[in-house]
Structure 1
Amino acid sequence: MRKSLVALSVLAATALPTVVSAADYSDGIHKNDYKFLQFNLMGAINEKGPYESSHDYLEMEFGGRNGIFDLYGYVDVFNLTSDSSSDKANKDKIFMKFAPRMSLDGLTGKDLSFGPVQELYVATLMEWDGGNGGVNTQKIGLGSDVMVPWFGKMGLNLYGTYNSNAKDWNGYQISTNWFKPFFFFDNGSFISYQGYIDYQFDMKSEQGATSSSGGAMFNGLYWHSDQFAVGYGLKLYNNVYGFKDGEALPWDASATADSSGVGHYVSVTYKF
């Protein structure tokens, strides 16, 4: 599923430090606290996965930081008008993702930074679509905040994936995201380049994978003001979710996966 970056970009612009430095908890763990909530009206065009899909959906994004914990999450609601001709008709209505992290620097009281790595975390990620036998995974691993030339601070996490349906581990995922404002208007609004990469590997055929690896890269251009955002994203897919493009799906030998190629996303956001 898509990991939206509209909220992440706003937070980066308002909450992330602009100076390269290690995490500092010497004068209190709550000095960098923040929270956010916003709604995004989304349109997906030629989205890839087991099947190609074009559809609309509403996304509620939320998260923030409290002491040594940070959180990012969203809830997607598909086919808002219950249109019987929609690609999402008679399919799961909701998809949820929650990604809490716990700072190891804050927990231990030690500076664990090195090189470009500012802070280390225990990183987790939970995904669920509410369907019986559908997506139900939990990921856990090592997370970090890394300073990268031009881009600034980027999140970089490596997880192991546990499939709750199969009750077994199923490979790994490496994820990164970035946000870079590059054009500013006199009224304070700006345009940013923002995106992410999610790449999975060592996935098991006995759990339905027809490709042991696959992933996606999202590249977005967004205009931001204090209250609104409007954006376009181009997403590149390659055997995403472990389905080999053009091969039969594990649950339907008469259908083939459409899991590689290009998808497009448009969004309008209202920020609370």
Structure 2
Amino acid sequence: MSTKFMSCVLAATATFCGMGQATAGIDATLWGIYSNDIKFSPKKVENAYLELEYMGQTGPIDWYGYFDAPKYFGGNDNINGVWDKEKNTSFMFMEHQPKLSLNRLTGKDLSIGPFKDWFIAADWILDAGNDVLTRQHTLYYGLGTSIDTHTKLGMNVNIFTRQQWENYGAANAYTSNDGGRLQVQFFYPIYRFSNGGSVNYFTFSNYDFGSKLGERTAGGTRTNEALVSTHIFSYQLQNFRAYTAARYFHNGSQFKDGAINNWGSGDFAQDSTGWGYYVGLGYKF
């Protein structure tokens, strides 16, 4: 199963994921990340992995995405990664979140009250596993807006519909418009040091709703809804980056918490609700 890593983990100073504040051009950061108690699978995942993240702006488009090499530095038995030779192995996980600013595209101020910029937004997720149980291909697409809070607090809201292709063998594979996602993001610059470093807080929450996966799955192991809320504190210099994050899952990846499942080696109770943790060190180049 996918570990589904950070979405918009760190953005420089007051820029993050299509809020219309990104600097021109595209930057890349190479990360080493450790995570534990991650509940995108019904069995808790520990993972130490390598990530290449990019972000920036070209014309009316805000770019954000990353490529992960799962279990690059190690992890527990509930995940198979880039160096493993088992049949069910994920060699790469990637996510890309382009946003097209309608304000910048048209050259007009399309703001309505506190809703300052409007976006055509997408979130494309691909897990490049080597069989049906380790592959995912999902596209979220819809509209987004940046909201002026009249404070240093930045806010962004996206509403998506979901196109599902492969999904680790789940019953909603190859389903058109299988529900939607509400995504809410906040960014707050906490402190800037005289050496140019800064401490920032960033949070984003994804609420998946309206899926038919729970109804299509026998045994009551899946749900139609799920919530993931991520809270990140970062420290950034010009090139050096570091962060720590806590992520709350409720029925992560639509696995019903506490339901009894069996993947061929005996019954187990699904553990898909609770907190997981991340730490990361990165270098921007």
TM-score by length of 2: 0.81
Please identify, of 252-261 and 57-66, the stretch whose mean Cα deviation from structure 2 is larger.
252-261
Corresponding residue for 2:153? 152
Cα distance in 2 between the residues matched to 1:122 and 1:177: 16
Amino acid aligned to 1:262: W
Between the aligned partners of 1:178 and 1:3, the Cα distance in structure 2 is 15
Q: Shift in Å at residue 255 of structure 1?
A: 3.5
Distance in 2 (CA, whole Å) between partners of 1:17 and 1:139 is 20
Say yes or no: does 1:270 pair with 2:254: no
Please point out which of 228, 231, 238 is paired with 1:219: 231
Contact 1:5–1:194 (Cα < 8 Å) also in 2: no
Tell me the CA shift for residue 104 of structure 1.
Answer: 2.1
Deviation >6 Å, runs of 4+: 15-18, 250-253
Separation in structure 2 between the aligned mates of residue 16 and residue 156 of structure 1, nearest angstrom: 9
How much identity, in percent, do the aligned residues show? Answer: 25
Contact 1:41/1:267 (<8 A) preserved: yes
Q: Tell me whether 1:233 sits opposite 2:258 in the alignment.
A: no
| Partner-residue secondary structure (3-state), 1:107 | helix
Q: Does 1:261 align with 2:274?
A: yes
Length, aligned pairs only = 258
* Contiguous gaps of at least 5 residues in structure 1: 19-30
Superposition pairs of residues 33-112 of structure 1, within 5 angstroms = 33-50=24-41, 51-81=43-73, 86-89=77-80, 90=86, 91-112=89-110
The whole-number CA distance in structure 2 between the counterparts of 1:213 and 1:151 is 32
Q: Offset of 1:197 from its aligned partner?
A: 0.8
Q: CA 1:94–1:104 in structure 2 vs 1: closer, same or farther (change >3 Å)?
A: same
2:111: which partner in 1? 113
- Within a 5 Å distance, the mapping from 1:119-268 to structure 2 comes to 119-131=117-129, 132-133=131-132, 134-165=135-166, 166-168=173-175, 169-204=177-212, 205-206=214-215, 208=217, 210-249=222-261, 254-268=267-281
Change (3 A) 1:271 1:86: farther
Deviation at 1:128, TM superposition (A): 0.8
Q: Is the 8 A contact 1:38 1:269 kept in 2?
A: yes
Q: For residues 159 and 188 of structure 1, what CA distance do their matches in structure 2 show?
A: 36
Distance 1:250 1:150, change over 3 A: farther
Root-mean-square deviation (CA, aligned residues, Å) is 2.6
Per-residue deviation, 1:33: 2.5
Measured in 2, the distance between the counterparts of 1:98 and 1:138 equals 10
Q: Equivalents in 2 of 1:250, 1:211: separation in Å?
A: 17
Q: Which residue of 2 aligns with 1:27?
A: none
Contact persistence 2:20–2:117 (CA under 8 A): no
TM-score of the two chains, using structure 1 as the length reference:
0.85
Q: Counterpart of 1:79 in 2: which secondary structure? A: strand
The Cα of 1:34 is off from its aligned counterpart by 2.8
Letter of the 1:176 counterpart: V
